[in-house]
Chain A
Amino acid sequence: GAGVSQSPSNKVTEKGKDVELRCDPISGHTALYWYRQRLGQGLEFLIYFQGNSAPDKSGLPSDRFSAERTGESVSTLTIQRTQQEDSAVYLCASSLYGVTYNEQFFGPGTRLTVL
């Protein structure tokens, strides 16, 4: 079946604007993760959704960041009042929690550039 998809693939925005990034996980995957990769740095965990449980938001860097997920499908990551330090590649992953040892499958990412 189809893999994880993300949109847009690239987004250029002006400082102070809000942006919304979308992730479509693999069908049937109950867990969904967002990560951020800033230039020259390792990937950083942002947020995790698992079924109907409360999301793990412990990696969100500030209250300008929020994410939602509708059931076990699409997720959107919203960044309000973007800053230049938000420029990064935002990666989404999904997994079938409890099966195949929680292996995470990644989308191609959204490259966000804040001018």
Chain B
Amino acid sequence: KQEVTQIPAALSVPEGENLVLNCSFTDSAIYNLQWFRQDPGKGLTSLLLIQSSQREQTSGRLNASLDKSSGRSTLYIAASQPGDSATYLCAVLNAGNNRKLIWGLGTSLAVNP
């Protein structure tokens, strides 16, 4: 059974810092992995999607890497800003079951001005 773990559960940093959020999964047979951002009352926003054959994806100040064999992904945020404050969720789509995303509990990020 696929399980997704995110570390740390919460993170507070001063503005301008570079930071790394971690996601691990127990079953490496995945189709893809997605990073989402969740803002209160605004649902989920997809940030980056990495296919199982890919190693990383980049969007602006965000870079996500994937090491499928070790069951790990990291989300790197460069030059953090107060507007980055949100909960970041990692979810995997298991190979052969292109339906159910399996979710981590998220990392709650606070970027202080």
Q: Which residues of A contact B (CB under 8 A)?
A: 4, 6, 9, 31, 33, 35, 41-43, 45, 48, 50, 56, 59, 91, 93, 97, 101-109
Q: Which residues of B contact A (CB under 8 A)?
A: 4, 31-32, 34, 36, 41-46, 49, 51, 89, 91, 93, 98-106
Residues of B within 8 A of A91 (CB): 43-44
Shortest Cβ distance from B31 into A: residue: A102
Shortest Cβ distance from A31 into B: residue: B99
Q: Are A108 and B41 in contact (CB under 8 A)?
A: yes
Residues of B within 8 A of A103 (CB): 34, 46, 49
Return B38 CB to nearest CB of chain A, in Å: 9
Which of A45, A56, A102, A105 contacts B32 (CB under 8 A)?
A: A102
